[in-house]
Amino acid sequence: MEYYELLAKRRMYRHFSSEPIPPEVLEKILDSATRGPSAGFSQGFDFLVLNQKPALEQFWNLALTPQWKEETTSHKGLWNAPVVILPLANPDAYIQRYTEQDKDYSPLQDKDHWPVPYWYIDTAFASMLILNSVVYENLGALFFGIFRNLACIKKSFQIPDNYHPIGAIAIGYPSSSDVSASAKRGRREKSSQFHFNQF
């Protein structure tokens, strides 16, 4: 698939079949997540990969209420996805990396001195690579927020306290008739979004 064709095809899906993803395909998708940049090459992101039924059920039971599952039309079948990945940002990996000798000139040993939290940026970059690889593999994905029971989800999957899920990515074969949000809302006019030489 050609690169710009891939970008044009990328969109979120919210309905999946439960057909499993071949392990070698999942492996390639996961490998792609390690190809992104990271500040100081800290690589301070991990991934909790849920690909077994009991773990997936446990996740969805905590993340969604039965009532919401019953009532939603926009996300019906999201929970059929055979894989859910939680990208986990780890700030401590960055603080530690910036105390190493080649970085000791920098003020970034203290978390409060970071102009933006690079651990979230890098984890998001890695997530974007997953989303793009999913398109390349003719699968579909949804990046979504975890709005419920986050502490409980961390505890039940033994995610250490200092690792922060930035959301979750459901991946599967889209059984989709849903129209993407970007198609419904339209993209912004480029002339209003790109500011050449001054804002």
Ligand X SMILES: Cc1cc2nc3c(=O)[nH]c(=O)nc-3n(C[C@H](O)[C@H](O)[C@H](O)COP(=O)(O)O)c2cc1C
Summarize as ranges the residues that interact with ligand X (CB under 6 A).
Answer: 11-12, 14, 142-145, 167, 180-182
Contact 89, 42 (CB under 8 A): no
What is the C-alpha to C-alpha distance for residues 52 and 49, in angstroms, rounded to an integer? 9
State which residue, 108 or 168, has the beta carbon closest to ligand X: 168
Listing DSSP states for the chain in one string gives --HHHHHHH--B---B--PPPPHHHHHHHHHHTTSS--GGG---EEEEEE-SHHHHHHHHHHHS-HHHHHH-STTTTGGG-SEEEEEEE-HHHHHHHTTSGGGTTSSTTSGGG-SS-HHHHHHHHHHHHHHHHHHHTT-EEEEE---S-HHHHHHHTT--TT-EE--EEEEE-B---PPPHHHHH-PPPHHHH--SS--
- Judged by beta carbon, residue 52 or residue 180, the one nearer ligand X is 180
Closer of 15 and 97 to ligand X (Cβ): 15
Least distance CB 76 / ligand X (angstroms): 12
- Give the nearer residue to ligand X in terms of CB position, either 9 or 113: 9
In the complex, what is the shortest distance from the CB of residue 143 to ligand X, in angstroms, rounded to a whole number? Answer: 5
CB of 21 to ligand X, least distance (A): 20
> Of 6 and 181, which has the nearer Cβ to ligand X?
181
Shortest distance, CB of residue 180 to ligand X, whole angstroms? 4
Q: State the minimum distance, in angstroms, from the CB of residue 197 to ligand X.
A: 28
